[in-house]
Amino acid sequence: MSTTHLRVILDRAGEESPSGVGRYALELTRQLIATAPRDCGVLGIVPSSPESDYQRIERELPGLAHLAKSALDRRQLSAAWQHGFTRLPGRGMVHAPSLFAPLRRHDRFENPNEQIVVTIHDAVPWTHPEIMSSREVAWARAMASRAKRYADAIVVPSHAVAEQLDEALGLGDRLRVVAGAASASLIRGNDAADRATRLRLPDRYILAVGPFLPGNGINDLIWALSDAAAPDLPLVLAGPVNDDLLDLGRVQSDAHLAPERLLRLGTLDDADLAVTYDRAAALVAPHLAGGFSLPVLEAMSLGTPVIHSDAPALVELAAGAGLSVARHDFAGYPRRLAEAIRHVADSGLAAEELVVRGRDRARAFSWRDSAEKTWQLHADL
């Protein structure tokens, strides 16, 4: 009997320390391989990349049937797929962990294995386009328009995102909710103290995890820590900062936050990130808008108290396991963040309660469950 392949688009999965979509793609694909039905295999498709990226993907995804390497780099492939040039290696089902997908006309009723599923992680291009670059908004909307025409199903990470996208695009019953989970590779090793020293982590600090864009609310968090209501703790940023859209130096100066109270670590590997979560007094996710937040679940799974905005997707994700801060009256948002941070930082009881709730909440999610639901989705189609 021939093997049926699920062709997965491994967008950004080969980066040295993938975040966002890259981490999502790796975690999901790893479990798709582990849970593949009998006579099914998983084939990866990647843009033209450095050889080290290919090696990293193959190392991270043992059991991958094949890694198909496009002759086009990510920018070229993105443009080609946006304009309908979508030839792919092999035959079979296609699963895209983002909108970076080869969407085209096909007939899955005539050939059930010819199906395309894409993932949309948030509705920001429609609900809050002002916090993205015009180029990013245009690309997301163009690819979502193609998805509306050609995708057999559209995966979203939460019911909140599903509602927002349905209102914006009218996608109806093609929307399927499949959540992510905390990364299984975030493990605190015996060298945690040495890593903390090398990273120059303060004894106590507030943590925010990127990538950092205007919609992450990072400007509000900097203003919050400069507020008189905030505890005298530094802010550690883990993850890339979009310097084209954010001028954190100017915000820090305007807020009169002392230089030593903002530490930018950039993108971290898993072991360093685990240590950074573990030693934080709290993770703050002040997002003004967005979708599923892997850092929130990762922090909860490692026993770090979580403070988050009342953005609908975050409220759904945390389900009472984090301390929610209202975004209404945006002028007062930094003060409310400051008060929440002080409450958690100064009250051992409040912090411990969030730790217990967070660990329980994180256990409700697993990548294996996500993969099994993904296989079931393709089987249903």
- Residue 2's pLDDT is 60
Phi, psi of 305 (to 5 degrees): -60, 145
- Residue 328's pLDDT is 84
- Residue 153's pLDDT is 95
137's CB contacts (< 8 A; 6+ apart) are: 125, 129
Place of tokens 């605190």: 188
The domain ranges of the chain are 4-181+366-380, 192-362
- Residue 138's pLDDT is 93
Question: What distance in Å separates the CA atoms of residue 365 and residue 181, rounded to the nearest whole number?
Answer: 5
Greatest extent of the chain over all pairs of C-alpha atoms, in Å: 69
- Residue 212's pLDDT is 85
Residues in the chain predicted with pLDDT less than 70, given as ranges, are 1-2, 17, 90, 112
| Separation in Å, CA 88 to CA 24, 43, 84, 106 | 22, 11, 12, 13
| Separation in Å, CA 75 to CA 49, 80, 104 | 11, 9, 19
Strands across the sheet containing 4-9: 66-69, 40-46, 4-9, 93-95, 116-119, 153-156, 175-177
Residue of 75, 44, 74, 39 lying closest to 61 (CA atoms): 44
Question: What distance in Å separates the CA atoms of residue 286 and residue 136, rounded to the nearest whole number?
Answer: 22
Tell me, yes or no, if the two domains 4-181+366-380 and 192-362 fold the same way: yes
69 membership: H or E segment, kind and range? strand 66-69
Residues β-bridged to residue 42: 6
pTM: 0.89
DSSP letters, 279-299, are T-SEEEE--SS-S--HHHHHH
- Residue 369's pLDDT is 96
Place of tokens 């990349």: 49
Contact 313, 291 (CB under 8 A): yes
Burial of residue 348 (CB within 10 Å: 0-12, 13-18, 19+) is: exposed
CATH pick for 192-362 out of 3.90.1570.10, 3.40.50.300, 3.20.20.70, 3.40.50.2000:
3.40.50.2000
Contact 182, 300 (CB under 8 A): yes
CB atoms within 10 A of CB 253: 11
Contact 36, 375 (CB under 8 A): yes
Place of tokens 């193959």: 58
- Residue 51's pLDDT is 92
Domain 4-181+366-380: assigned CATH number? 3.40.50.2000
